[in-house]
Amino acid sequence: MYEVELKLPASLEDVRTRLEELEATPLGGVVQEDTYYDAPHRSFPDTDEALRIRREYDADGTTEIATRLTYKGPLLEAASKTRAEHETGLEDATAMHATLEKLGFEPAAVVRKDRERYRYDDYTLTLDRVGGAGTFVEIETDVGTEAEIEAARERATHILERLGLDAAKQVRTSYLELVLEGEP
């Protein structure tokens, strides 16, 4: 599977208004806490990979609703944040954390996001407040083959234009990198 994603800094209020005008389907809000890991056998920043445990909570951040382990491969193209992604659910984040540490993986950073999600066409649009990085809009969809990436990216660009956003202003830097850049 490939995740085709574009991310831009944006005024969330303006985008929310446009999404309502376009009759996008609200999917609700969540709080996500992502713990990223460094590998003992290679540098993920150097290889442009990521391994994380994501703990997802309800919109007020009090009740945990899901926990997932995700591997993200290197970016596949210059025009978007498209990459191979493998993800699975976890029953116990604490046990997975302990397992990764026993294998030599070390926590690198934690990124916290308050997210408001919408569905429009076959895309998920997320309005993000990222601690230490700012406010962003993400648009993403999953495709099964590399041959589908370009068409999915072009459709995402068209949707962004309908929202009054310029896809040329996209940020290909991960939230993890943005947060780490902001640290003293």
Give the range of the structural domain holding residue 115, as residue numbers without chain letter: 2-182
- Per-residue confidence (pLDDT) for residue 78, from 0 to 100: 84
The rounded mean pLDDT for the chain is 94
Amino acid at 177: E
What's the average model confidence in pLDDT over 19-30? Answer: 97
- Per-residue confidence (pLDDT) for residue 183, from 0 to 100: 63
* Number of domains present in the structure of the chain: 1
What's the average model confidence in pLDDT over 6-26? Answer: 97
- Per-residue confidence (pLDDT) for residue 139, from 0 to 100: 97
Is 184 a residue whose pLDDT tops 80? no
What's the average model confidence in pLDDT over 126-150? Answer: 96
Active-site amino acid positions: 36
Question: What CATH number is attached to the domain comprising 138?
Answer: 2.40.320.10
| Beta-carbon contacts of residue 77 (< 8 Å; ≥ 6 apart) | 149, 153
